[in-house]
Structure 1
Amino acid sequence: MISEPEQLLPGTRRALLHRIAVAQSEGRAPSLVAAVQRQGQVVWSGSRSCVDGHAPDGDTQFRIGSLTKTFTAVLVLRLRDEGLLNLDDPLEKHLPGTDVGDITVHQLLGHSAGLAAESPGPWWERTPGALRPELPDVLGEQTRMHVPGHRFHYSNPGYTLLGSLVEQVRGMSWEQALRNEILEPLGMHRTSLQPEAPHAGGWAVHPWADVMLPEPAEDLGLMAPAGQLWSTTNDLLRFAAFLMEGDDRVLCADSVEEMRKPSAPTGPGDWQSGYGLGLQLARDGDRTLFGHTGSLPGFLATLWISAEDDVAAVALTNTTAGLAIGEVAAELVGIVAEAEPRVPEPWRPLTESEVDTDLLALTGPWYWGTRANVLRLTPGGGLEIAPMRGAGRGARFVPGGDGTWTGLDGYYAGEILRVVRNDDGSVNHLDLGSFVFTREPYDPAAAVPGGVDASGWRGLGD
């Protein structure tokens, strides 16, 4: 049983407050609110404001922009898990008449469909959605910027198509599906399409003077699935907990884990970021983060999660530009993870029902040629193979039910591991995607491709 996380130390809380205070001051933001969650529980929150006594709290709504895309992606994956569509399906199969029907659902989710980044016509984020009443108005005439599937190219219209796909397959509005299938089950009662008091107003701050201008808050219409939502730090941390562990009422753990696997090639030289299925991926030093950023005129938002540290941070502000809110949220995660590292759970042995003596006999050293590897038994009848020393090709495997195991990750993801036995039932070797692993380096008794020199190992001749 996982114990409740301890409250943060005073020094950690001071560092978190200092970070957002510097961000609000130097970024010249009217207000900023942030919160941190560890092991699924909120352990810190803080805010700053230019108006004394009116700082926002965890219940104050801000517009979250493209964080909305993650919610849309969850709705699409629910349809996949229910067998109503496949991610490799062409869009035309479920949403005919778009003129881009050959692109796949997977490509839309991962921004590799090659569509334009923005909708044509007046700046869609600052104009009413009524100006774009139909999908052709959202897509425009020049829909193709790149060959589908060949590269990552962020596309807001792409997520409009996904929202329309949800409506077509579900037979209800995107808003109703969102409320029924995500917001209500997760208790996100302060997340909505339109602002609900208390909420922040959106502002533009002059780049060269300390003066402000109010920004419009338009209803985006068909573009809503790409960036419409308003939310709070409390609600977004509930969403973060779901993205960490899954929730069978919404989406299972395997599917939310699938969301954070890279889905499209990155651009040249871009090794620090990527995109999964509705989730942005980023490297912050040695730490891997997943979540999403968001911006609309008057607002900036970021949710970052570190699965390894079991820490999530959300930061929201009501300014159009000038504050690197993504960096702030990443640093909040780092402050907690580094100042108060996660305490691991106590080691516990497998239960008797989890121990298979035949599998236990397979554990230990195995050699691919002369490269030493170790095979370990994992819970649930799984196996894990890893280099005995240094980096190399390691992977986890799950049982296939037919005496084989399938790779989950790494070089051997999707590859099949088989035990090849002699006529007497003893193990000859392991076959992993055609590679032979033997108990001894180039074991002459095993079926090593190319054979083994009969004279055996030798030293340097005199």
Structure 2
Amino acid sequence: MAGVNQRLERLVRRTQAQARVPALSVALHRADRPLWTCTVGGTGNENPLGPDTVFRIGSVTKTLTAVLVMQCRDDGLLDLDDPIGRHLDVPAHGTATVRRLLSHTAGLQREPYGDIWDTLRSPDVPELLADLARIDRALPPARRFHYSNLGLALLGHAVARLRGGTWAEVLADRVLRPLELSSTTVYPGPGAATGFLVDAYSDHARPEPRLDLGALGPAAQLWSTATDMARWAAFLADPAVVDPSGAVLAPATLDEMRWPLTTTDEASWQAGFGLGLILLPQRPAEPVPGERIVHVGHDGAMPGFLSSVYGRRGGGATPKAMGCAVLASSGTADEINELSHRLLAAAVEDDPAEVTAWVPGEAPPPAYRSVLGPWWGEGFPFVFFWRDGALRARAADAPAGAPPAVFAPLPDRPDVLRTVSGRETGELLRLTRDGAGRVVRMHWATYRFTRTQETFDGVTTYEL
């Protein structure tokens, strides 16, 4: 462990020195190890720098607002395909849907009306809504990804209206307190770091003004610590471990949020966007065939501050509930955005999750034993097997690391199963039995599956 931590600390210290960051605070969360923290530099004021020093996290705020929106959906207060005008009294652009606003595909312009980054004055909520009549639609709806602080702000105020409070009140009640993110606040306390712009041609660091974003708050207002944000990143990646009771959000809803709805560019496809979350596929130094690794979270930028908060999913070496937060008191150090990903990868490379010993499991239910083994569909071989209490299937030549399809029987029809994850998610698997009760044919997503390879008109290969 000492060697691993030394490598992580060296990465942090080298980044702080090369990027010239006045204060850098980092935390790494994983379920199988104590929380790891590292701080380098000084706060720029009389307060000492430590793991509990508060930084502005900027657009990482959007991930918390997105969770509030999904809570409303799960509670039946809204539908993702509702127009925002159904939940907010707006003079224009009311047809933009919740889903498109969350995924930055609604086509709204990036910022509220007016040059707020010149005036350093943000509108209040009535002004923000009234000024919607004066803003451009940057793109047609669903045309492509176009990042919008305005869109996430509207969602935050819709949540506030649906819950009967302010966005800040709802956030504290429904996310911060249940997850014990006690250092995450709308306004900084007295121990916060000072944010700087580091001069490009000298080593002088100039303090940046502290902005109150007003009605734009749900998009970028929050302040937090690296320890809080590492826990938040772990929650986004592995909610079943961080929030086992589902007090904040069901794991299935986080699965939905992590599903890519768009890419941020049409050429390289290096980054995707789900429902309020950035998705970054990873390419390990020694990839395992079939394994898929993705970092999920968000970056943040505000005058004087940068942040990068991501959880890691996938890969046999990734421990449960793994998340990393990098918070910096410089608004000009691009290296910060890469450091969280380098730390997550280095921690897994040098200190992978323990290999869990295999233990025998229970026998499959008698009703599904005749399903197990090889089947043929569309001319290709598949293997159906029982593991961890569920029927599963994958292509016979799929790598061992590839996720299988998983099935669950319908409550009142045990011979009809729903595909709950993997290939053909959502489709039905129908079983056909002979007079002795053995499964002799299956239909998955309406395609016929048989024990021998057959043409589509039912001729087996040995009769061709």
Normalised to the residue count of structure 2, the TM-score between the two structures is 0.89
Q: Does 1:169 align with 2:162?
A: yes
How far apart are 1:92 and its partner, in Å?
A: 1.8
Partner Cα separation in structure 1 for residue 119 and residue 365 of structure 2: 62
Task: Give 1:335's aligned residue.
Answer: 346
How far apart are 1:426 and its partner, in Å?
A: 3.5
How far apart are 1:437 and its partner, in Å?
A: 1.1
Q: Does 1:229 align with 2:240?
A: no
2:300 maps to which of 294, 305, 308 = 294
Partner Cα separation in structure 2 for residue 439 and residue 453 of structure 1: 10
Task: Give 1:24's aligned residue.
Answer: 16
2:375 maps to which of 353, 366, 385 = 366
How far apart are 1:42 and its partner, in Å?
A: 4.0
Partner Cα separation in structure 1 for residue 182 and residue 108 of structure 2: 34
Q: For structure 2, which runs of at least 5 residues remain unmatched after alignment?
A: 285-292
Q: Does 1:344 align with 2:337?
A: no
Task: Give 1:142's aligned residue.
Answer: 135
2:63 maps to which of 70, 80, 86 = 70
1:317 maps to which of 324, 328, 331 = 328
Letter in 1 for 2:139: H
Deviations 1:366-403 (A, max 9, x none): 111442111112334x3221111146995222322223
Letter in 1 for 2:360: P
Letter in 2 for 1:231: S
Task: Give 2:287's aligned residue.
Answer: none
Stretch moving more, 143-152 or 320-329: 143-152
Within-5 A mapping of 1:47-86 = 47-49=39-41, 56-86=49-79
How far apart are 1:294 and its partner, in Å?
A: 0.5
How far apart are 1:59 and its partner, in Å?
A: 0.8
Give the share of equivalent positions with the same residue, in percent: 34
8 Å CA contact retained: 2:43, 2:49: no
Partner Cα separation in structure 1 for residue 306 and residue 130 of structure 2: 26
Task: Give 1:357's aligned residue.
Answer: 366
Task: Give 2:5's aligned residue.
Answer: 13
Partner Cα separation in structure 1 for residue 79 and residue 335 of structure 2: 37
Task: Give 2:405's aligned residue.
Answer: 395
Give the root-mean-square deviation of aligned CA atoms.
Answer: 2.4
How far apart are 1:275 and its partner, in Å?
A: 0.9
1:259 maps to which of 257, 260, 267 = 257
Task: Give 2:394's aligned residue.
Answer: 386
Task: Give 2:450's aligned residue.
Answer: 438
8 Å CA contact retained: 1:29, 1:317: yes
Task: Give 1:3's aligned residue.
Answer: none
Partner Cα separation in structure 2 for residue 393 and residue 233 of structure 1: 32
Normalised to the residue count of structure 1, the TM-score between the two structures is 0.89
Task: Give 2:289's aligned residue.
Answer: none
Partner Cα separation in structure 2 for residue 103 and residue 133 of structure 1: 19
How far apart are 1:420 and its partner, in Å?
A: 2.1
2:458 maps to which of 433, 442, 451 = 451
Within-5 A mapping of 1:200-211 = 200-211=193-204
Partner Cα separation in structure 1 for residue 55 and residue 43 of structure 2: 17
Provide the secondary structure at the position in 2 that maps to 1:361: helix
8 Å CA contact retained: 2:105, 2:146: yes
How far apart are 1:133 and its partner, in Å?
A: 5.1
Partner Cα separation in structure 1 for residue 111 and residue 329 of structure 2: 22
Stretch moving more, 416-425 or 159-168: 416-425
* Paired positions, count: 441
